[in-house]
Amino acid sequence: MSSELYDSFIADYYDESPVVQGRLQDVAFYRDAAREFGDPVLELGCGTGRITMALAEAGKRVTGLDVSERMLERAVQKRAALRVEARERVHLVQGDMTRFELGDTFRLIIIPFRPFQHLLEVQHQVHCLECVRKHLAPGGRLILDVFQTDAERMHDPVHHREEVISEYSTRDGRQVRISERVAAFHRAEQRNDVEMIFSVEHPDGRKERLVFAWTLRYFFRYEVEHLLARCGFRVAALYGDFDRTAIRDESPEMIFVAESR
């Protein structure tokens, strides 16, 4: 499915990017959730293990599943750097979140930082939720976050223009500027083709322009509630941000905590 997408330069830039580094609140949120609902935890779309490793360090047994070999290679390196006890709590699996069979059940299944928005077709979303349901222990919870869709980002041509979202230097001395643009709107399909453009200047002066082009699926609140209901879940809580505030018009997130019906 989306494997080729992250099996690219993005795996090397992911962890150091301020876009990712700035996301500390979600790590704390998922750590608290693991304390509340218990382990083992399954993280779908675990990527480089940003959340996976934090949960293992907090004493939880975690399985991280991702389709991308290169993202998982990073996760393997990060696992190797953990203390032995934490390291032994992490299990990494290459797989597709729309069709997996792990032969185990989990107290908590999480889908942090948008992997669900890579599932463009309703059938893929349903297959993913069906797999989740099979892997959930009795009384367990599913938590997934998607952004709350801003209507203006669905059509306003101003978003076709590149907008700089971050500038930073990497540990090995590359200067990086990240900008973003919407290449195309597909309102009928609830998709945007998005480009994240990395303008890189290497320490030897060489310049490079790398484009991470992907299609995101945006969701609406009641669509997700219906989708969850269709797949046998009930929404136990819905937050508008990682501080657990209720969802409001201006909330950046839609964080669904669901349980089996």
Selected from 106, 113, 233, 256, the binder of ligand SAM by CB under 6 A is 113
Residue 168 vs 175, nearer CB to ligand SAM: 168
Selected from 54, 55, 71, 143, the binder of ligand SAM by CB under 6 A is 71
Instruction: State in angstroms the smallest separation of the CB of 206 from ligand SAM.
Output: 27
- Judge contact between 135 and 63, C-beta under 8 A: no
Residue 51 binds ligand SAM, judged by CB under 6 A = yes
Q: How far apart are CA 114 and CA 112, in angstroms?
A: 6
Spatial CA neighbour of 193 closest among 154, 232, 222, 163: 154
| DSSP bridge pairs for 147 | 253
SS3 29: helix
Residue 98 vs 192, nearer CB to ligand SAM: 98
Residue 71 vs 224, nearer CB to ligand SAM: 71
Q: How far apart are CA 200 and CA 76, in angstroms?
A: 26
Using the rule CB under 6 A, give the single segment among 47-55, 134-142, 154-162, 229-237 that binds ligand SAM. Answer: 47-55
Residue the block writes with tokens 């979303």: 125
Residue 50 binds ligand SAM, judged by CB under 6 A = yes
Strands (E) in the chain, as ranges, are: 41-44, 62-66, 90-94, 106-111, 136-147, 163-169, 175-186, 191-201, 207-217, 233-239, 253-260
Instruction: State in angstroms the smallest separation of the CB of 205 from ligand SAM.
Output: 31
Kindly identify the residues of this chain, within the stretch 170-229, that bind ligand SAM according to CB under 6 A: none
Residue 122 binds ligand SAM, judged by CB under 6 A = no
Selected from 112, 131, 239, 254, the binder of ligand SAM by CB under 6 A is 112
Residue 10 binds ligand SAM, judged by CB under 6 A = no
